[in-house]
Structure 1
Amino acid sequence: MAEVFGTAASALAVIELAVKITKLCAQYVEDVSNARDDIGRINTEVTNLKAVTESVRKLLDGPQGTKLRTSQNLYTALQDGQGELQRLEEDLTSRKSRKAMRRCGLRALKWPFRSEDVQKKVDILQRCSQTISLALQVDQT
């Protein structure tokens, strides 16, 4: 039973981080014109992870929530997703690039990732979403 609560708490943390990152990506889209494609790719994967995590949350909160057999897989995948989202949030809210640009008199944001970095992050987020989806499918059969 405690494991289900831990998984539910992880699901909620992932959802909250996904909402924060979606808002940060929207801010970057407004302020950084040359990184729109990369921002869109990350934002899409964060949104997908959020949607899958919300499904987990509904399942865990439902009457069958305590009967999940693969909840440990869900918990691990949610922890991985949460960790990646936390790193992503830290990179997007980094004060270093903002301070450096303010010293120069600029208020613009600098997109902190190269395309290769974006692809790695997108791959990790996709893997988390797929693992969660597969665990949900196993539990629903």
Structure 2
Amino acid sequence: MAEVFGTAASALAVIELAAKVTKLCVQYGKDVSNARDDIGRISTEVTNLKTVTESIRQLLGGPQEAKLRTSRNLYTALQDGQRELQRLQEDLTPGKGRKAMRRIGIRALKWPFRSEDVQKKIDVFQRCSQTVSLALQVDQM
């Protein structure tokens, strides 16, 4: 039973972080024109991860919880997603220097990733989403 609470708590953390990261991506999309494709790709994968995580959270809190053996073991996948989302949020959060420059009217927002970095992050989010989706499918059989 404790593992269900841990998985549910991880799912909630992933959902909250995904919402924050999506908001940051939207801000970068407005301010940084040369990285719109990368921003869109990351934002899409974060949204996908959030969607499947919300599904698992709903199932783990529902009446079918006892039958969901595979889904209860998703803690590791959700932790991986959560860690990557935290790193992404930290990388995307404007520092003090950018905030100060913005106050005086200078747009100092710069996309902090190269395309290769974006692809690595997308791969992590896709792997987490696929793991959660597969567990959901196994439990539905």
Contact 1:4/1:66, CA 8 A, preserved across alignment? no
What are the residue-to-residue correspondences of 1:67-106 with 2, within 5 Å?
A: 67-95=67-95, 98=98, 106=106
What residue is the counterpart of 1:52 in the other structure? 52
Following superposition, the deviation at residue 101 of structure 1 comes to 5.8
Match of 1:109, SS?
coil
Superposition TM-score, scaled by structure 2 size: 0.91
Count of residues paired in the alignment: 140
Superposition TM-score, scaled by structure 1 size: 0.91
Supply the AA of the counterpart residue of 2:24. Answer: L
Following superposition, the deviation at residue 66 of structure 1 comes to 3.0
What residue is the counterpart of 2:30 in the other structure? 30
Following superposition, the deviation at residue 2 of structure 1 comes to 1.1
Q: Distance in 1 between matches of 2:115 and 2:73?
A: 30
* Consecutive unaligned residues in structure 1, runs of 5 or more: none
Q: Distance in 2 between matches of 1:50 and 1:67?
A: 23
Contact 2:56/2:71, CA 8 A, preserved across alignment? no
Q: Distance in 1 between matches of 2:133 and 2:43?
A: 19
Contact 1:92/1:112, CA 8 A, preserved across alignment? yes
Q: Distance in 1 between matches of 2:17 and 2:125?
A: 13
Percent identity (aligned): 82
* Consecutive unaligned residues in structure 2, runs of 5 or more: none
